[in-house]
Structure 1
Amino acid sequence: MGPLRRRVRGGPVTPPLVLTVAGSDAGGGAGIQADLKTMLALGTHGMSVLTAVTAQNSLGVQGTWELPVEAVRAQYRSVVDDIGVGAVKTGMLASAPLVEAVAELLAGTDAPVVVDPVGVSKHGDPLLAASALDSVRTRLLPAATVATPNLDEVTQLTGVTVADEADLPRAAAAILAYGPRWALIKGGHLAGEAVDLLTDGSEEHWLRAPRHDNRHTHGTGCTLASAVAAGLAKGLSVPEAVTEAKAYVTGAIAAGFALGGGIGPVDHGWRWR
């Protein structure tokens, strides 16, 4: 991994570089769009490798079209080989061939990796083929510095069901068994305060925040994972990056706004308003 900031001779400092490998959300609340907004808000330069296009709005996902593996590989090599990268975040990968291709690319990249194992959308629409689950378990998760599943994704990947806060360590252990260095289990679907557990199997960090009475939470998972990647690109430790990301996404949820006729997005620019 190169220096966190680079200066072209006589020019301005280059901000830390973060790459998202994910799908597009036409409505701008999640996916690539949410990732790039988050990276900008947190003082980094966001770059993107598009894996799929979705027809998506506040009501749900009306269609998905994945890109060819060659197109994904070419985008990744184009960015990393010329510009470099300080951290990588993965999101929607759609199919087993895409998961395996991205895992291979990550294995050859000297930078921390945040894996958001996107399985379904906020509205319950599938974004990952069932046939790709084994590739996520055996190829993608082992490449992760931090894996950030929500509770539905934990169940999808491991079979572990989380009913309350006491189940979070068991969920984390099940995810860590597949090889990521750290697991961040997001407990946002539980009742009460918003509690997440970050652990590497030896130390635990419990992150708590008040639950905001706001239904406009589209893009929460993408935003959190991208914020963690931004922190890692800036040189923060995993616990530091996750703590900062939790604070950022909590504010974004509080400021989430109505958009269209359904669930609106979190506000990525809340600190500027």
Structure 2
Amino acid sequence: MSERIYKTVPTVLSIAGFDGSGGAGIQADTKTISAIGCYAMNILTALPVQNTQGVKNIFSIEPKAIHEQLACIFEDIYPDAIKIGMVHSTELVGIIAEFLKDYKGKIVFDPVMVSTSGHKLIEDDTISAIKRQLFPLADIITPNLDEVSVLVGKPVLELQDMEAVSDQLLEMGSQAVLLKGGHLQSDILTSILLQHGQAAQYFESKKVDTKNTHGSGCTLSSAIASYLAIGQSLTDATENGLAYVYQAILGSKDLIIGKGHGPLNHFFNPNKLRTNEMD
């Protein structure tokens, strides 16, 4: 009888909010992580009531429940990478930061602060706590232009504006920053990767003519976390994450799902679960 061979899999933990319509939050994260070939796990931080037309309400999750979720996962499956999304209270910021202070894997933080309609989703004191406690733990943060504007305290609308605030963002404590250009009003969308001690890297893509972009930020951050989990460098993970989102948007451009901004097609070309033989 041949010896049985056991295998490990790359694991990614999503710490984020809920989306019952399936396009954003932990639903988008799980789809993305799975499509890239990693094993997805979830910690629920909040219960937004939302669909493709917007966020209707947000119900809080008991902070003790979030801490217990984290402890339960970590005692059993240690994540290779973590994606953090919606963190909507100072107490929750403290709980997550304290729990992850000695974490040895990679952390991608998508600072969810502004809704698609332009409304701030969290209070100023929570934003301050995020900058002070979570940014220093992150290998990379992935703000869009609305979130960058909140972080720097002034409108950031054009590529030149993004370049002008680059140093300010990198000085906020994270190891790297990806300024996402998805909201630029141009046919070519430019995102900028900033890393300490390195020249800025520019990534360009053509704007896709579609309204199906719901959950694109959640998808990108979880894609980057997934590529980091399989051992890619931050630059390669970012480039591949952006390419994944572009193809997912392209694959959904003619779909009709919901009455508003529809979701991405996360399974445009899914991978099998990646495995490695144990030593």
Q: Pick from 229, 241, 244: which aligns with 1:245?
A: 241
Structure 1 residue 160: Cα displacement: 4.0
Aligned partners of 2:118, 2:9: CA distance in 1, in Å?
Answer: 36
Within 5 Å, give how 1:1-273 maps onto structure 2.
10-192=4-186, 193-201=188-196, 202-256=198-252, 257-272=255-270
| TM-score (ref. length: structure 2) | 0.90
Structure 1 residue 185: Cα displacement: 0.3
Instruction: Give RMSD over aligned pairs.
Output: 1.5
Matched AA of 1:265: P
Higher relative contact order (CA 8 A, sep 6+): 2
Task: Indicate if the aligned counterparts of 2:145 and 2:157 stay in contact, CA closer than 8 A.
Answer: no
Task: Indicate if the aligned counterparts of 2:16 and 2:85 stay in contact, CA closer than 8 A.
Answer: yes
State percent identity of aligned pairs.
37
Structure 1 residue 29: Cα displacement: 0.4
Residues 30-86 of structure 1 deviation map (CA, whole Å, 9 limit, x = unaligned): 000000000000010010110011111111111111211111111111112211110
Structure 1 residue 239: Cα displacement: 0.2
Task: Indicate if the aligned counterparts of 1:197 and 1:205 stay in contact, CA closer than 8 A.
Answer: yes
| Structure 1 residue ranges, 4+ long, deviating more than 6 angstroms after superposition | none
Aligned partners of 1:15, 1:50: CA distance in 2, in Å?
Answer: 22
Structure 1 residue 125: Cα displacement: 4.6
Return 122-131 or 74-83, whichever deviates more. Answer: 122-131
Aligned partners of 1:11, 1:130: CA distance in 2, in Å?
Answer: 52
Task: Indicate if the aligned counterparts of 2:118 and 2:146 stay in contact, CA closer than 8 A.
Answer: no
Matched AA of 2:260: G
Report the number of matched residues. 264
- Unaligned stretches of 5+ in structure 1? 1-8
| TM-score (ref. length: structure 1) | 0.92
Matched AA of 1:238: L
Return 61-70 or 34-43, whichever deviates more. Answer: 61-70
Matched AA of 2:239: T
Task: Determine helix, strand or coil for the equivalent of 2:130.
Answer: helix
Residues 97-150 of structure 1 deviation map (CA, whole Å, 9 limit, x = unaligned): 111211122212111100100012323354323330100111111111000000
